[in-house]
Amino acid sequence: MSEQLAVLKGILENLVVIRQLMELQLRKLIKEELERVASTPERKKMWILCDGATSTSEISRKVGVSTRAVQYFIRDAQRLELIRIDKRGFPRRAINWIPSDWQKLVENVSKRDKGEKYE
């Protein structure tokens, strides 16, 4: 049994490395596709919040847009196969990646969660 577990851990490690290499290689293409749907600061924040644990109503409150606007974003992202809905109303990024130049938006979303001033 422990031998099988060791084999599975080895496979998982290899898959993680393969995924990282693919993401590095395809980063530019992924970002271009992502920016087709996340075309405004609000939509970029929605992308950041699509973590599978935040509901569409929470996303709308945190971003400061209507729930309908979030639903439109999710629909558009689903068409590009960038978002999945595993649990009704809880969108999750199919590619769990946030472009590094969106870091300021990530920080702003975190500030809003903590009740600090939001830019």
Residue 119 within a domain: no
The whole-number average pLDDT for the span 107-116 is: 65
- The total number of structural domains in the chain stands at 1
HSE of 74, CA atoms in CB hemisphere, 13 A: 24
The whole-number average pLDDT for the span 93-103 is: 87
pLDDT tops 70 at residue 47? yes
β-strand 83-87 against 90-93: which pairing, if any? antiparallel
For 15-41, write each residue's pLDDT tens digit. Answer: 999 988 887 887 888 889 999 999 999
Residue 118 within a domain: no
Structural domain harbouring 69: 2-113
Q: Positive or negative, the Cα torsion across 75, 91, 57, 89? A: positive
pLDDT tops 90 at residue 83? yes
CATH code of the domain containing 31: 1.10.10
Rounded to two decimals, what is the model's pTM?
Answer: 0.75
- Neighbouring CB atoms inside 10 A of 84's CB total 16
